[in-house]
Amino acid sequence: MKYLVVVQGTQADYEGLRGRASAQAPAWTEGDLKAMYAYMGAINAELAGTGELVDAQGLAEPGRTRLVTRGPDGRTVIADDPYDEAEVVPAGYWLLDCPSLERVTEIAERVTRCPGPDGAADLPVVIRPVLDGAEEIRADPA
């Protein structure tokens, strides 16, 4: 079954990655960044080796987001940078093809252990099963 595994982050986290500390996020050093990329790279290499990796991407910071909605009058409303500095949004994802929810949970647990500077937020990793057809929408998840 395919699963979307989503890492969470905030605008403040992205600023921290640039070395700009705030009340919400510490500044990352070059060493912190190298450790994070090495850790995530090792996970990606393992998943590619097992054949479980379908796709993985980091997402641009929340400040580069555009939100398109419909207003009460039915007209389109477009908002650039719609999130505040501390609002949690998807920061990156893996699309994985794993044999079980238990296996993908093991992977997500490893992702939560990614190294970072002291004071970095421990944000959740979200696992979402990818539906394999319209019939799954009506299926009882229990």
CATH class of the domain defined by 2-132: alpha beta
Q: Is the pLDDT of residue 135 over 80?
A: no
Q: Using DSSP, state whether 67 is helix, strand or coil.
A: strand
pTM score over 0.75: yes
Q: Using DSSP, state whether 20 is helix, strand or coil.
A: coil
pLDDT tens digits, 23-50? 999 999 999 999 999 999 999 999 999 9
Q: Using DSSP, state whether 97 is helix, strand or coil.
A: strand
DSSP state of 63: G
Cα dihedral 96→101→104→106 (10° resolution): -170
Q: Using DSSP, state whether 107 is helix, strand or coil.
A: helix
| Residue 69 φ/ψ, nearest 5 degrees | -135, 175
Non-local CB neighbours of 118 within 8 Å, separated by 6+ positions: 26
pLDDT tens digits, 52-76? 999 999 999 999 999 999 999 999 9
Residue ranges per domain, the chain?
2-132
- Counting every residue written for the chain, the total comes to 142
